[in-house]
Every structure is written in structure tokens, then in C-alpha cells.
């Protein structure tokens, strides 16, 4: 572990305002008071398996489980011996209820086209596509990659995989062909699903072209299904590429859900860690499904008449859990918008809320800060009175953004649930329960039932109350990752070795005198740019793979909108000179190697990097320089003191 990085949210910690839920909100909520929450939490903490075993009765079981939890540290098995199916729990269970003809999914494309699927209609499409997958030779345990726009077919494809026991691996459409190929290879994907192109702010994203390039380096992928989204001609490779609509035209809509073992893998989702290689986080069937359902119900307090809009991309965990699996298992209407928030104008989101009478909006602080910058007049033109609950995820929300969100978007009547969790946790871990827990802006408040957080020092012992330290989770929970795809060793080392017997999440946090948790940033070299997790080492590896670069160090610096921006320090190989043209080339190179969303904001050429005597780059110093701060703290381990002066003068 490198040095802790708390401290940047100091002003958040002085926040003393408290916002209690209104009596009307609490009266209708599932959990109505702090006392009720505390009772539930204590009950869960006293008997973790008993608590979750009871909750699991809410899923459909083809075969009941024999044992709730088998904990062979650090490997957990939940609901052992049971068989269920996630697609069944999201769709079939509703078909014998009045929800059958209710909207499961309401979608609007960026150009303004719309589609609505009832639970029955979604079931039909999922069954048909499940049959398509079977026809293409996909069966239980096969991995299917998806590189798609935010269209209903992505949801359909995910549920179709779940239906037949195939494992999906959704790759965010902002990744480059290199990144797709790396994931395809690591996951041994057999099939990939994509679209001809996608819409983004009126431009056309070359999705199929990126996949074509990736498939040159993805030896395990045999076939490719292509959805026609935009309509420009797309080259199709005979025998490998198939149009979605051709396959669907011939598919039967009868496909019973395959009973799956509780621990059968449901999906792999890659995320950044503290090394250059992305981690394939593995989630399995029953535990994930239950956790997605219960957290949706507790945190968003969803009701049958709600339209729920989680604005994340399905390519991230937030989209998996709170666009697809959570809302559909809970029988809610999930809303999906395909495009950019400023297409065609900066009020697109507010017009969608007004048009569809959205009740719950779940988004990220970076989006909120962007809207603040765009100006209130975009919001003022719209009636947002349908909203009753707001959510935030991805990074801490600063009090200024919190207050704007609360007053301007929520009309001072909607609680804000600031939800802390990770790709690895499968679902929300700490968050206000909106009818029960008074809010403090900037705090994710308290753990959900069944979740036991602790704050510990580097020796694993609890810190004194009120002090910052490593946030760990002391007991297994059903939504937890079951490992890193193909790398048990890395799973053990990354999450379970620094603090014995507890899950180390990689964040620093503090718990105040009221038992409220405050997240204080990452322990490791992971950046959080616009709510996306980026590994500094991944960016550095991309840079040094360019012939002009000898060495590179990437650090985060504070950024008004994105939270953190990427600053890189580069030393050049001999024969290369700093220039704006080279800067542009390096940016393009990172775009090609990883994807547009990782492109560094600042590239600084330097003649040397500050290192310790053992050769470790002193990132703390680079962070100070990138942020324009005075260098503070210890520099005695610096190998060459003149480097600091040179770094500063290189800037001038
Ligand atoms: O550092 C925390 C931050 O995002 C990390 C997880 O990133 P990822 O796996 O990409 O998942 C993002 C969506 C769940 C965490 O380790 N983070 C997430 N939510 C919050 C947060 N930091 C502070 N407050 C939050 N509410």
C-alpha cells in the first residue's frame, strides 16, 4: 500500500447541517424511523446468515438452498445447494401478477425515438434472444462480451445470458479496441455483441469498427452479433458477423429459464486496480440477485407506481445493479436514456424528467457539478415536481453540489441518498435509508442492514472514535465479489491480506460521534475521474508504450467538475523534444490504448521524476506540483533534491 490520501475533503467534515426526512415521506417509507433501522441493523449483525436466509425467501427457488453461508476465507458461497435464475427473478415472477402489463423499461434514444417494454414484452424479447444465443452455440458458463450503446437490446442481451447460464461481460462503449481485446482475452469470451454505431451528442460512435479491430486480437471470440442502431453501411464478415434483426426474426419466444446453482457466475465486470492490468470482478447468481433487489428496495424505497432513473452507463456496475437487476427484481419501471445530457441542449435531462414524470433520480456528483456550471436557467424551464427522491454515487458529494441538488432539483422536498459502494461490493453498502436516517451533506451516513463496516489502522486494530483509517467490511455479504476472474491469488492479496479476515475496500474513511461515515478518498493509486475509476499505472503503461516516452507518472489533481483530473509527468526518450504536437500525439495514443475517458488533462514534460533511493516515484510530491501547491511533508527520502526544483522550473 502506498501513502494514505485522506484530507482533501476537510471542509466536508465541518458540515454540521442535519436534514431529517419529512413526516409524510417517513410515513410511506418501508423503514420509517431511525429506531426501526437500528433494530433491523442490530438484528442482522447478531445473526448474519439467519438475516440473509430470511431475506432470500423473496427469490424464486427451483431448488431450495441447504445452507445460507459457507465461509472459507476469503471465499464465500451463499445459498449453497440452491438453484434459481436471475432472469426468472427479474421477469417471470411478475408475469402472474398485475405487473405483467406494467412498463418494465422505458427508453429514449438520443435522437428522440422512444420505446416501452412491459414485463411481458421484455420477457418475450429475452426468451427470443436467449434462443439466438443457443443457436450461436452459447451455453452455460460461456462468456459473452457486449460493447453496445445504451439501448434496450443491451438489457435484453444481459438477461438472455442470465436466462441460459451464460456469463456476460459488458465493456463500456468508451473503451478502445485495445481495451476490448484485452478484456476478451482475459475472459476467454466466445461471442461479442455490438451495434453498427452509437449516438453521442449527434456524432456517430464507431462501435462495430472498434470491435472489428479488437477481434483481430481476440482469438477466443468466434462470432459477433451486430445491432443496427444508426443505419450506416457496416462491413459484415461472412460466417462471423450476424445481424441482430435477422437472428431475432427466426427465433422462438419460448425459452424456459435454466435453473442455475446459486454460485454460478452471472457476470464479469472489469475495473481498475492499483496495477496496470484491469481486474475482472466476478459476481454470481443468487447472492448478487438478492443484494441488488434488497438494496433497491431499502435505499430507493421504490413503489410500484415509480419511474426510476439511474443515469449511469450499463457498462459500469451502477448500471448493472440499478438499471437492470435491482429495479427489475423489485418490479419497478426502469428508465434508460441513450445519449448525452446536452444533446441537443443542456436541459435534456430536465425535459426527460418532466416528460416521463420521473420519480427517483440517481446520478453522480460530476454530473451535478456540470449542471451547476451550465446554469440554473436550464432547470428553471422545467417542471420537476414528479421527483420524490434523489441519489448520488461514484464519489463524495461536496456540500455545495449537495445543496444545489437538494434545492434546485429536489425542490427542498426530496431526500438525497449518498450511496457508497464499489464494483466489488455488487450493491450499495452504506447509504441513508430515506425515510429513516437524517442526512448530513457529504456523508453516506450508515451501513445497510447486514453490513458491518469498521475503520482500522494499518495494524488492523480499530482506530479511536472519530479518527480516519482504512475502511474494512468485517463480515461477508451476499453481493460481494467472488473473486477476480482467473486470478484467486490477486483476489486474496488485494482485498484480504492487509487486514486479516476483513474485506479491505481501498478507501479511507472516518466515523463521527453519531455513527455517520465519511469517505476520505483512496488508499492506493487509483484515481476517481468523473466517478470513473482509473488506475495511474494503466495510464502510465499506455504512455510508456509510445516510442517517445522514457518514463511516465500519472497523478490526480483537484478538478472543479470532474472531482479529479489526470496529470501526467513524462520524461522523453533521447531524440525527442517537448512540443504541443507531441502532447497531442500522446493524448491520442492514450485514447487508442485505453479510451477517450482516460485521456490526461495535463501532460508535463520533465527531465527527471522525483524518486526515493529505492527507485519508487514519489507521487505525493507530483500531486502537490500538479495541484500548484507548495510541497509539504517529508522529502528526506528523495534521491536527488535538484529534481524538485527542475520539475517546478520545467513548468515555467
Ligand atoms: O472510492 C470510492 C468511490 O468510488 C469507488 C468505487 O468505484 P467503482 O467500483 O467504479 O464503483 C462506482 C460506483 C459504485 C469507491 O471505492 N465512491 C463510490 N461511491 C462513493 C465513493 N466515494 C465517496 N462517496 C460515495 N458515495
Which protein residue's CA is at the shortest distance from atom 21 of ligand 1? 395
From 258, 278, 309, the end of a domain falls on 258
Q: How far is CA 485 from CA 284, 481, 488, 548, in A?
A: 12, 10, 8, 34
Q: What is the distance in A from the centroid of ligand 1 to the CA of 645?
A: 36
Cell 440499478 found at: 322
Question: Do 13 and 516 contact (CB within 8 A), yes or no?
Answer: no
Q: How far is CA 545 from CA 538, 578, 597, 598, in A?
A: 11, 17, 18, 15
Which protein residue's CA is at the shortest distance from atom 14 of ligand 1? 422
Per the domain annotation, does 384 fall within a domain? no
Average pLDDT per block of 10 residues along the chain, 652 residues long? 34 68 96 98 98 98 98 98 99 98 98 98 99 98 98 99 98 95 98 98 96 98 98 95 98 98 98 84 98 98 98 97 98 98 97 98 94 94 98 90 96 97 98 98 96 96 92 98 97 96 95 94 85 85 90 92 93 92 96 91 90 76 87 69 75 49
CATH of the domain at 245: 3.40.50.980
Per the domain annotation, does 293 fall within a domain? no
Per the domain annotation, does 553 fall within a domain? yes
Per the domain annotation, does 231 fall within a domain? yes
Ligand 1 pocket by Cβ (under 6 Å): 271, 317-318, 393-396, 418-423, 444, 505-507, 519, 522, 528, 533
Per the domain annotation, does 625 fall within a domain? yes
Q: What is the distance in A from the centroid of ligand 1 to the CA of 362?
A: 14
HEC profile of 463-478: CCCCCEEEEEECCCCC
pLDDT at 273: 77
Please report how many Cα atoms fall inside a 13 Å half-sphere around the Cα of residue 511, on the Cβ side.
18
Which protein residue's CA is at the shortest distance from atom 18 of ligand 1? 394
d(CA 444, CA 631): 31
Question: Do 417 and 390 contact (CB within 8 A), yes or no?
Answer: yes
Quote the domain boundaries for residue 550. Answer: 524-649
pLDDT at 14: 55
HEC profile of 291-306: HHHHHHHHHHCCCCCC
Which protein residue's CA is at the shortest distance from atom 3 of ligand 1? 395
From 228, 258, 288, the end of a domain falls on 258
HEC profile of 407-440: HHHCCCCCCEEEEECCHHHCCCCECCCCCCCCEC
Per the domain annotation, does 599 fall within a domain? yes
Per the domain annotation, does 188 fall within a domain? yes
d(CA 483, CA 76): 9
Annotate 297-334 with DSSP letters as a single string.
Answer: HHHH---TT-EEEE-S-TTSHHHIIIIIIHHHHTTPEE
pLDDT at 305: 97
Which protein residue's CA is at the shortest distance from atom 26 of ligand 1? 420
State yes or no: cis peptide before 344, omega within 30 of 0. yes
User: Into how many domains does the chain fold?
Assistant: 2
Q: How far is CA 303 from the centre of its chain?
A: 24
Q: What is the distance in A from the centroid of ligand 1 to the CA of 509?
A: 12
From 219, 236, 258, the end of a domain falls on 258
CATH of the domain at 581: 3.30.300.30
pLDDT at 608: 84
Per the domain annotation, does 49 fall within a domain? no
Q: What is the distance in A from the centroid of ligand 1 to the CA of 522?
A: 9
Amino acid at each position: 500500500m502506498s501513502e494514505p490520501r485522506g484530507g482533501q475533503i476537510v471542509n466536508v467534515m465541518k458540515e454540521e447541517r442535519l436534514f431529517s426526512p419529512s413526516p409524510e415521506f417517513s410515513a410511506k417509507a418501508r423503514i420509517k424511523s431511525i429506531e426501526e433501522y437500528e433494530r433491523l441493523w442490530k438484528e442482522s449483525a447478531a445473526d448474519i446468515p439467519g438475516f440473509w436466509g430470511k431475506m432470500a425467501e423473496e427469490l424464486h427457488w427451483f431448488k431450495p438452498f441447504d445452507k445460507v453461508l459457507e465461509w472459507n476465507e476469503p471465499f464465500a458461497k451463499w445459498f449453497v445447494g440452491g438453484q434459481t435464475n436471475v432472469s426468472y427473478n427479474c421477469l417471470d415472477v411478475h408475469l402472474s401478477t398485475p405487473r405483467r402489463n406494467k412498463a418494465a423499461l422505458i427508453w429514449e434514444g438520443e435522437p428522440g425515438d422512444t420505446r416501452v417494454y412491459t414485463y411481458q414484452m421484455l420477457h418475450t424479447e429475452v426468451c427470443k434472444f436467449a434462443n439466438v444465443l443457443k443457436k450461436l452455440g452459447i451455453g452455460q458458463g460461456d462468456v459473452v462480451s457486449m460493447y453496445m450503446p445504451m439501448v434496450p437490446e443491451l438489457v435484453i442481451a444481459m438477461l438472455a445470458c442470465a436466462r441460459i447460464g451464460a456469463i456476460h461481460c459488458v465493456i463500456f462503449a468508451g473503451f478502445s479496441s485495445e481495451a476490448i481485446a484485452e478484456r476478451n482475452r482475459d475472459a476467454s469470451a466466445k461471442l461479442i455483441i455490438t451495434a453498427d454505431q452509437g449516438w453521442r451528442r449527434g456524432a456517430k460512435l464507431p462501435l462495430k469498427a472498434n470491435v472489428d479491430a479488437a477481434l483481430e486480437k481476440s482469438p477466443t471470440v468466434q462470432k459477433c452479433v451486430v445491432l443496427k442502431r444508426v443505419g450506416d453501411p457496416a462491413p459484415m464478415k461472412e460466417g462471423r458477423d450476424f445481424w441482430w434483426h435477422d437472428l431475432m426474426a427466426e427465433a422462438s419466444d419460448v425459452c424456459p429459464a435454466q435453473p442455475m446453482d446459486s454460485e454460478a457466475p452471472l457476470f464479469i465486470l472489469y475495473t481498475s486496480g492499483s496495477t496496470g492490468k484491469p481486474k475482472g470482478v466476478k459476481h454470481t447468481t443468487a447472492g448478487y440477485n438478492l443484494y441488488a433487489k434488497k438494496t433497491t428496495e431499502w435505499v430507493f424505497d421504490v413503489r410500484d407506481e415509480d419511474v426510476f432513473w439511474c443515469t449511469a452507463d450499463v457498462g459500469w456496475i451502477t448500471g448493472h445493479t440499478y438499471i437492470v437487476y435491482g429495479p427489475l427484481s423489485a418490479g419497478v419501471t426502469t428508465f434508460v436514456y441513450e445519449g448525452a445530457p446536452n444533446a441537443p441542449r443542456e436541459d435534456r435531462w430536465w425535459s426527460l424528467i418532466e416528460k416521463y414524470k420521473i420519480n427517483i433520480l440517481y446520478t453522480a456528483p460530476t454530473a451535478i457539478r456540470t449542471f451547476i456550471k451550465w446554469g440554473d436557467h436550464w432547470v428553471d424551464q422545467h417542471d420537476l415536481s414528479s421527483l420524490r427522491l434523489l441519489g448520488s454515487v461514484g464519489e463524495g458529494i461536496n456540500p455545495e453540489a449537495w445543496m444545489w441538488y437538494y434545492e434546485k432539483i429536489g425542490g427542498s422536498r426530496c431526500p438525497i441518498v449518498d450511496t457508497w459502494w464499489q464494483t466489488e461490493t455488487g450493491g450499495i453498502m452504506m447509504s441513508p435509508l430515506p425515510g429513516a436516517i437524517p442526512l448530513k451533506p457529504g456523508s453516506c451516513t450508515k451501513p445497510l442492514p447486514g453490513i458491518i463496516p469498521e475503520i482500522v489502522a494499518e495494524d488492523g486494530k480499530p482506530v479511536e472514535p472519530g479518527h480516519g483509517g482504512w475502511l474494512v467490511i468485517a463480515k461477508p455479504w451476499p453481493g460481494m465479489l467472488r473473486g477476480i476472474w482467473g486470478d484467486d491469488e490477486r483476489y486474496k492479496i488485494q482485498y484480504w491480506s492487509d487486514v486479516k479476515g476483513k474485506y479491505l475496500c481501498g478507501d479511507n474513511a472516518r466515523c463521527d460521534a453519531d455513527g455517520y461515515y465519511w469517505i476520505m478518498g483512496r488508499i492506493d493509486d487509483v484515481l476517481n475521474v468523473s466517478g470513473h475509476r482509473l488506475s495511474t499505472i494503466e495510464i502510465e503503461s499506455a504512455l510508456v508504450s509510445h516510442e517517445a516516452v522514457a518514463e511516465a507518472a500519472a497523478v490526480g489533481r483537484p478538478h472543479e467538475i470532474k472531482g479529479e483530473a489526470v496529470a501526467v509527468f513524462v520524461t522523453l526518450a533521447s531524440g525527442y523534444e517537448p512540443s504541443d504536437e507531441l502532447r497531442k500525439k500522446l493524448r491520442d495514443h492514450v485514447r487508442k490504448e485505453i479510451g477517450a475517458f482516460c485521456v490526461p488533462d495535463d501532460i508535463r514534460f520533465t527531465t527527471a521524476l522525483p524518486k526515493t533511493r529505492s527507485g519508487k516515484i514519489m507521487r505525493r510530491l507530483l500531486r502537490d506540483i500538479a495541484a500548484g501547491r507548495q510541497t509539504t511533508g517529508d522529502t528526506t527520502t528523495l534521491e536527488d533534491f535538484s529534481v524538485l526544483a527542475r520539475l517546478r522550473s520545467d513548468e515555467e
